[in-house]
Chains A and B, each alone.
Chain A
């Protein structure tokens, strides 16, 4: 059974940092691209960042570029999101999601339960 379990969320002050983790199990983690998607309270889904299976390709939403860093450790079956210079507008539930990607398509077939990040003084 595929499982994605996020951790590391919490309350942080504006300008602070936080590192999210996503522990994967039930599949060959090193074979899949992974993403972070967030959802502000009462709002829709917002894509944050993606990383390919071997970390060769990394992309960020403009709203987090230069502040967030995505990474992975295939030996530990783990995905990470280092978040620096946090702002109030980064407050959201952060989901990790597994990518199913074939030629011309790219979608999320499994999601974690999410971890809440609150940026407030």
Chain B
């Protein structure tokens, strides 16, 4: 089955850029989606189809996808960005949804 690998944690100072990676075999051939989840809340879609943002999501969040790595970048990081972030793909070979293990973003 398809596996997505994320770093468990990423730390960044306010105002800097955080980059959260999502690794998978030839993930560049798939559409990658990203969710933000704050404690006690349901996940929220923040990036879909590699780099598109739903309405209401600030352009400080951006996504890219190539080769074996997809990346969610958050520029000008704020305290409110502190959350868990999950990548997700659809594995057409198994007709299963696959999530990465999640990355906890800490704002120092």
Q: Which residues of A contact B (CB under 8 A)?
A: 35, 37, 44-47, 50, 57, 59, 61-62, 95, 100, 104-109, 111-114
State whether A61 touches B96 (Cβ < 8 A).
yes
The docked-state distance in angstroms from the alpha carbon of A46 to that of B97 is 9
- The answer to the question of B102 belonging to the interface, with a C-beta cut-off of 8 Å to chain A, is yes
Number of A-B residue pairs, CB cutoff 8 Å, is: 62
Q: Which residue of A lies closest to B54 (CB)?
A: A109
State whether A107 touches B43 (Cβ < 8 A).
no
Residues of B within 8 A of A59 (CB): 95-96
Contact A106 B90, CB 8 Å, known A45-B35, A45-B43, A111-B43: yes
Name the segment of B16-24, B44-52, B66-74, B75-83 touching the other chain.
B44-52
Residues of B within 8 A of A47 (CB): 96-99
The docked-state distance in angstroms from the alpha carbon of A57 to that of B102 is 28
**Number of B positions contacting A (CB below 8 A):** 24
State whether B45 touches A109 (Cβ < 8 A).
yes
- The answer to the question of B42 belonging to the interface, with a C-beta cut-off of 8 Å to chain A, is yes
> A107: which of B33, B84, B100 is its contact (CB, 8 Å)?
B33
State whether B31 touches A95 (Cβ < 8 A).
no
The docked-state distance in angstroms from the alpha carbon of A46 to that of B19 is 23
A111 to chain B, nearest CB (A): 4
The docked-state distance in angstroms from the alpha carbon of A69 to that of B99 is 21
The docked-state distance in angstroms from the alpha carbon of A106 to that of B2 is 15
Interface centre among A59, A62, A108, A109 (most CB of B within 10 A): A108
